[in-house]
Amino acid sequence: MTIGHAMAKGAVWMVLFRVVERSIGLISTVILARLLVPADFGLVAMAMSLIAVLELMHSFSLDMALIQNQSATEHHYNTAWTLNVLMGLLSAVVLVLLAAPASLFYREPRLEMVIYVLAFGMLIQGMDNIGTVAFRKEMRFDQEFKFLVLKKLAPFTVTVTLAFLWQNYWALVFGMLVGWISSVALSYWIHPYRPRFALSAWRDLLNFSGWMMINNLLIAVYQRGVDFIIGRIAGTHALGLYSIAYEIANLPSSQLVAPISRAVFPGYAKLAADPEALKRGFLNVLSMVALVMVPVGAGIALTAEHIVGLFLGPKWMDAVPLMTLLAMYGVIQSFPSMAGSIFLALGKTKAMTGLIVANVCVMIPAVVWSVQQAGALGAAQAMLGVVILFLPISLFFPFRWLNISAAEFVLMIWRPIFAAGVMYFSVHALVPMLLASGHGVSNHILHLAIAVPLGAAIYIGLVYSLWRMSSCPPGAEDYIQSKVRHWRTQRSVQPNE
């Protein structure tokens, strides 16, 4: 199997996982939104804004180093596990020390006990079996899929059950705690590797992971800093609205971009010595992301009112304008996110750090000012403005390293953007003509039942027509058509076997 084929297969497995994961997450969110209030989600989001900073420092660095280092030995794996355990212990201690100050900072006395409980979870989480990294490094994504899906079942069951029983924020807290504990137990059940305490390879790992830890801390500040600011200035209700709106609006990113990045990074690392092959692979991935992300993001922005009204209920309607802006943010952010895999595969962690620092330095003051002016809506406006500002800068370095011209990129993405724009304005104009205005659940159902298939038909038909009119250039459309032809060939051959 070629590396490119393995990357494509891995991307399919990871996207499938995200579909399953987000299906579980959506069911959970819909149930919990009906049982709990925005302030409950906001309180837990306050705690998670602290935890995310510490969690990212040890959850997404050493595994990347093991994948990037094609000659990693058992000593590297044992050292990575030991460092994760130590970081889990350190994170738990830091959380305990920050519990009381954080409660005072947010002016929320309930927060202190929540942080104490979650600190125990951080301690447990650091003991995850490092052997599961081999699933990605060896591109055994079927095993990775099994592992990740099983990890989601326990917290879902516990959180929903406790929400019915308690109907308060403790259901969310103990659901996360059970998720961490079950993840550790599962990691040792699903992979036979048994790590031992060792620090013999710490220099090799930290040569790569030292910069990654800095990057992850900055990313956490970038992502969770918004939660800090909204919670401090606007309170738990506004933060709850923002966190749920962000989660739903960024479903395309979490279901597509994140799993594809997870799948293609090992392949990019193997292709790092072949710039031309890496360039082709990167452009094909960007093309596929644009083909799917752009219309889905536009669809969420178009139907935000009815998504919220149907699935979350009337008490969440203030999240509609947030969701519209954050859906557009998610589409644009997907391209820098995919470029991040190139930074890592080529070992350009210092350049990545500089870019993230610049993002944070602009984003934090922009969000502070915007939240003071317009609350959570201001935060969404600032996030969208910053990602638009940094888009060309984020793509400049990977394009230069791989000798990709702006024209090549535009030729890959113009069809999805144009077709999605036509889809957006067509559905916006046609649906009110087909459906009388109204309120209630039935109106939301009818609107979505008409808008979704109509939008999909317009987009698919137009993007395919544009591709044919452009002489069928290589890219996502070409890849999908080849897969459809292969499937049809197999179907036609089977009856004669």
Residue 55 three-state SS: helix
Q: How far apart are CA 99 and CA 116, in angstroms?
A: 7
Is residue 413 within 8 Å of residue 404, measured between CB atoms? no
C-alpha separations of 67 from 103, 198, 209, 268, 350 in Å: 39, 19, 11, 10, 18
Closest CA to 268 of 348, 212, 208: 348
pLDDT in tens, the chain (497 residues): 455 455 555 555 555 555 566 666 667 777 777 788 778 888 887 887 777 766 655 544 566 666 655 666 677 777 777 877 888 888 888 888 988 888 888 888 888 898 898 888 888 887 877 767 766 665 666 666 666 767 777 778 888 888 888 888 888 888 888 888 888 888 788 777 787 787 766 666 666 555 566 666 666 667 677 887 888 888 878 888 888 888 888 776 666 666 666 666 666 767 777 788 888 888 888 888 888 888 988 898 888 888 888 878 787 888 899 999 998 998 888 888 888 778 877 777 778 778 888 888 898 899 999 999 998 899 999 999 999 999 988 888 889 888 888 888 888 889 999 999 999 999 988 888 777 665 667 888 888 888 889 999 999 999 989 988 888 787 777 777 776 776 667 666 555 54
Token couple for 261: 């990045």
Residues 6+ apart with CB under 8 A from 496: none
**72: phi > 0 → left, psi -120 to 50 → alpha, else beta; which?**
beta
User: Which secondary-structure segment (H or E) carries 415?
Assistant: helix 406-434
Closest CA to 287 of 404, 141, 388, 139: 404
H helix count then E strand count, the chain:
18, 0
Q: How far apart are CA 254 and CA 248, in angstroms?
A: 10
Residues 6+ apart with CB under 8 A from 346: 272, 401
Enter the pTM of the model: 0.66
Q: How far apart are CA 285 and CA 260, in angstroms?
A: 8
Q: How far apart are CA 174 and CA 181, in angstroms?
A: 11
